[in-house]
Structure 1
Amino acid sequence: MPAVFAPAKINLYLHVTGRRDNGYHLLDSLTVFARDIADRLTFTPAPSFSLNITGPFADASNSGLMEDNLVLRAAKAVARACGRDDGFSITLEKNIPMGAGLGGGSADAAAAVRALEQLWGAELGDAERDALLLKLGADVPVCYRAATSRFEGIGDVVTPVDTALPEFHLLLLCPDAHTVTKDVFGAREKAFGERAADVPRGAGFEDFISWLSLTRNDLEDAAQALTPQIKEALNFLSELSGCRLARMSGSGSCVFGIFESAEACRIAAEDCRKFRPQWWAQATQIL
């Protein structure tokens, strides 16, 4: 089959609204996906599953035990659900930075589930699939859909956004540091926040930015305390010409800026590469 793409996830806002007795946090987030920033997976039939990781971020992905990789865990979960004892040799081209809040591992796992359902002609029921995805991680259900969505609860409530967002351009900027999600949640000290207002229907760019400015990322303070480079990146991005809003995605360390103009976004990306060459900078739009 053709290569399967796993697009980067961006949380335009992220509110922490509560916590269950079992420790799982309750979230509310408007989640979008990058049009041209994605990992790439290819599948070759094989007697069992194996994984080869390539690409610019392969070294970071290969740093842990291969058996713990979410792609292999997802593939084996689908095989069990489908009663299959064969597998695939999977090549994962890592183009999304690790530990950046862009959902790279979750997107890869979700893409593996989609691909195997197609390759095996699997007919997983919605409830069975949703349970499988959620067990892999809180971000995996929304990454499976890979479309603008509202993400709530512990990741178990994913609602497609049925109103078109205005056109805008994103500059993603990752400083030379990464975060660990559980550490960021553990360092968070503020009270729980409220659910955001619904996305305004038919809003133009200015109204959308005004609405989005009333939201926030409730993990920013904790992430910055653990990883000061995030604050530096946010300050740097905020000062770039044409940046209308700068915010962290997920639990960091990647931050993003929203621009109305493609040209302003392109110039800002060039400035990032010129003045912060050790950082990763990429301009994009959403799917």
Structure 2
Amino acid sequence: MKQIIKSVALTAYLSFNATLNNYNRNIIKSEYEIYNKLIPGRTSGDIDQFGTFWDYTDTAYAKVNLTLHLDANVNVSEDYLNLCSLIQKICWGDDVYVKRISANESHILSQNYSQTQDGDYLLLIDETFQGSGNAHKHFPLDSTNLISKALNVTRQEDEKFLVLTRKKVPAGTGFGGGSADAAVILRHCTNQDNMKLIGSDVPFLASNYNVGLVTGIGDKIIPIDDITLDEMHEYIYLLLVDDMSSTTDVFANARKMISNGTFKSTQFESIVESTISMARNFSNFVPQNDLTPCVLSPKVKRLYDILLEKYRNYKVGMTGSGSGLYIIGNNDKDITQVRNLYQDNLCIIKTKFKSGKNNGKCYTLL
């Protein structure tokens, strides 16, 4: 019996390591690794030769939920809860590179990288602050990745793809990194009918709006005029703790709170109206997120409590289901002092709201 248990354990161990090794094959250091495989003989100096290598490249701009309200009158057994959220794209995000590949190119790639179940290749350059050591936990390189789901919505019959993601936005932070990656695929196709099936943030992130009031299950978008922090000489500072937040767990907690009456029933239409009014008069904006008390991470709770106590003169909030927090302000020195109070790993990114005036990447690591 002991021998059988040992055999099963060994098989499981070897299977896990094989999966991990296959995964690590798809984590690369530079896109030139791909060029060298598919365009042998070229060097990194031949940069002009690679201009048409990709079918398209785009920035997957992240987002912040400036407000997020849950409808306490809903049936909690439904797959999705009804929400109302003021969502703003920001000038920070991943870079996504997409190429349709031939059968011969797929054969060449298969010698070095692992395919998804659909025959695509998802490769990763990990530039998140956690580092590539944890990448396998956060960015699936198989058909469960939202990128893969977006490809399945858009692909023609026998199309296969190579997708490289230069990852900056960590998973589980509420900044919509995975949804934004998938949105890049959808923005470059004509069939966008099923995008809401991929993720609730995807329709907004695939849209041309910089800011919008999103309601329902993410499928209804009310465009809002651009909010420019420049006029108030302010920035948005993103605070990323060294911890992930499970969206599933946070919403499970929210369902419990709705069921036991913790969330008070309100007229949801009035919340929509007041949020639109506040967005149009942003100087009176107050961050609100019903999911904040549902977060389970001690690190997020501790940092959020510090912000509420020590940064009362700033606009402070949590995005999505966490773990990301943000501060709207303009004093780098004051805001980076939070590290002395928090005394744990903390990434701080200074960026801007995406708008007509700020329509590209613009961020600084502090």
Q: Above 0.5 in TM-score? A: yes
Distance 1:51 1:8 in 2: 20
> Normalising to structure 1: TM-score of the pair?
0.81
Structure with greater strand share of residues = 1
> Normalising to structure 2: TM-score of the pair?
0.65
Distance 1:242 1:219, change over 3 A: closer
> 2:216 corresponds to which residue?
153
Contact map agreement 2:56 2:97 (CA 8 A) in 1:
yes
Distance 2:163 2:146 in 1: 12
Distance 1:59 1:25, change over 3 A: farther
Contact map agreement 1:269 1:282 (CA 8 A) in 2:
no
1:8 aligns with 2:70: no
> 1:169 corresponds to which residue?
235
The percentage of aligned residue pairs carrying the same residue is 25
1:229 aligns with 2:303: no
Shift of 1:238: 3.8
Distance 1:150 1:74 in 2: 23
Distance 1:59 1:68 in 2: 20
- What residue ranges of structure 1 are gaps of 5+ in the alignment? 118-122
Shift of 1:61: 4.6
Contact map agreement 2:241 2:323 (CA 8 A) in 1:
yes
**How many pairs were matched up?**
261
Q: Which of 174, 184, 192 does residue 111 from structure 1 map onto? A: 184
Q: Secondary structure at the match of 2:288?
A: coil
Q: Secondary structure at the match of 1:257?
A: strand
Q: What CA RMSD, in Å, does the superposition of the two structures yield over aligned residues?
A: 2.5
Q: Which of 128, 133, 147 does residue 71 from structure 1 map onto? A: 147
> 2:33 corresponds to which residue?
none
**Higher mean Cα deviation, 232-241 or 4-13?**
232-241
**Higher mean Cα deviation, 14-23 or 152-161?**
14-23
> 2:159 corresponds to which residue?
86
Distance 1:202 1:11, change over 3 A: closer
> 2:107 corresponds to which residue?
none
AA in 1 matched with 2:282: F
- What residue ranges of structure 2 are gaps of 5+ in the alignment? 1-54, 103-118, 355-366
AA in 2 matched with 1:3: T
1:200 aligns with 2:281: no
Shift of 1:101: 0.7
> 1:40 corresponds to which residue?
95
Distance 1:95 1:269, change over 3 A: farther
Q: Secondary structure at the match of 2:195?
A: helix
Shift of 1:73: 1.4
When Rg is computed on C-alpha atoms for both structures, the one with the higher figure is 2
Distance 1:272 1:149 in 2: 30
Distance 2:335 2:145 in 1: 31
Distance 1:242 1:75, change over 3 A: same
Distance 1:111 1:32, change over 3 A: same
> 1:28 corresponds to which residue?
84
Shift of 1:255: 0.6
